[in-house]
Structure 1
Amino acid sequence: MTRIASASLLLVFTLLLYSCQTDYASLPTYTGARQLQAVIETPAGSSHAVKYDLKTKTFINEKLAGQDKILQFLPYPGNYGFIPSTEVGANSRGLSTLVLAERIESGTVTEVIPIATLMLEKSSGDLYPVIITVPARPSERTIKATNFKSLSIEYPAVKQILQQWFVHYTHPNSIKFVGWKDEHFAEKEIQRWMKL
């Protein structure tokens, strides 16, 4: 086999490989049974920030000055990711979500129930909503809250911890707490940012 033929086969194989990759950003927001889906980027308990790269359709470590970004704070208190087929802001990122559950690996698509929205503001003045969710399957839940009222009454410390973590996990004064909203507001935010 000639070098040109070998190179051509390698190129075809590479193109086929990329075309077979799942486009997580374009998965349906809801399953056929109308269950909300979340794509996990950074697992709970990790200090390494992972993000989904829209161009390569892969999960990569975020970089800071050419090095892997490692939080200089407590690890992620839940599984951080995004709601597929949503788009927020100029960078085309999906709507952020935090799934309160045991560690779920990067690239996992899981069915969730929205229970709250943590409203934050970036130093740029942009609002930064984070949809707080729990797994749809009761056996996968670490807390029993399935709505904002039960989260507030039975787990007030969870709200305080999440609020403090999001305000302090990055550079000082880069994120401010705005407020908490309920699961109905979360559903409206999801509808608002869904791609048409």
Structure 2
Amino acid sequence: MKRYIPFLLLLTLLCAACKTDYANLPTYTPNKQLQAVIETPAGNNHKILFDKTTKEFASEKDAGKDRIIRFLPYPGNYGFIPSTEVGSKGTPLEVLVLSERAETGTVVEIIPIGVLQLEIAGELYPQIIAIPARPSEQLISAQDFKSFSKQYPAVKKILEEWFLHHNSAARTRMGGWRDEKFADQMIQRWMKL
């Protein structure tokens, strides 16, 4: 048994070093379903981000302390579309999945239903709004922007207000809404090749 201890220790170290590279997961599943990686669960006030370098999820820091949203908690599961990079910053496309709470690191198949465009310091920040692809996980029955706008105008208003006011340090302005086709075009444009 003693001769297996070094082998077991090495195996344990190797397994501990194997971290999922969420940023580089496929954008689409083999059955062509869009994926999202959840960073900050719905109902959370601590913003959690995935670090591409360490391949770990950690609270966003502000002046060395965990950043806490001093407003209402996240109204959905916040995360990103894997294997996308926007502009010169190389940050992934952001997504808010309207569903029950999903834990950090959950990978969920989604259907984009629209894009909320925000303007912060003169730059556009698109927020893809999506629902889970699995009908059993859907809280709202909208399958596209038209049905979302018609059936859930109050949800749209809540999301607008939340994104405009959740970060008091940023001067955020509404840039308008776009449909699911625009979301698909953005995803195609920013997918890593």
Same fold (TM over 0.5): yes
Q: Match of 1:92?
A: 90
Task: State which of 60, 63, 86 in structure 2 corresponds to 1:62.
Answer: 60
Q: d(CA) in 1 for partners of 2:175 and 2:158?
A: 15
Q: Which amino acid aligns with 2:35?
A: Q
Q: Match of 1:141?
A: 138
Q: Match of 1:165?
A: 162
Q: d(CA) in 2 for partners of 1:163 and 1:127?
A: 15
Q: d(CA) in 1 for partners of 2:28 and 2:58?
A: 25
Which consecutive aligned stretches of 4+ in structure 1 deviate over 3 angstroms post-superposition?
9-16
SS in 1 for 2:81: strand
Q: Kindly, what percent of the aligned residue pairs are identical?
A: 59
Q: Match of 1:30?
A: 28
Q: Match of 1:3?
A: none
Q: Which amino acid aligns with 1:37?
A: Q
SS in 2 for 1:93: coil
Q: Match of 2:119?
A: 121
SS in 1 for 2:109: strand
Q: Match of 2:16?
A: 17
Q: Which amino acid aligns with 2:144?
A: N
Q: Match of 2:77?
A: 79
Supply the RMSD in Å over aligned alpha carbons: 1.8
Q: d(CA) in 2 for partners of 1:24 and 1:195?
A: 14
Q: Which amino acid aligns with 2:117?
A: M
Q: d(CA) in 2 for partners of 1:172 and 1:68?
A: 15
Q: d(CA) in 2 for partners of 1:15 and 1:53?
A: 20
SS in 2 for 1:88: coil
Task: State which of 164, 177, 188 in structure 2 corresponds to 1:180.
Answer: 177
SS in 2 for 1:176: strand
1:105-120 alignment runs, 5 A limit: 105-120=103-118
Q: d(CA) in 1 for partners of 2:167 and 2:9?
A: 42
Q: Match of 1:153?
A: 150
How far off its partner does 1:122 sit? 1.4
How far off its partner does 1:135 sit? 0.3
In structure 1, runs of 5+ residues without a counterpart are 1-5
SS in 2 for 1:86: coil
How far off its partner does 1:92 sit? 2.1
Please, what TM-score do these two structures have when normalized by structure 2? 0.91
How far off its partner does 1:90 sit? 3.5
How far off its partner does 1:174 sit? 2.1
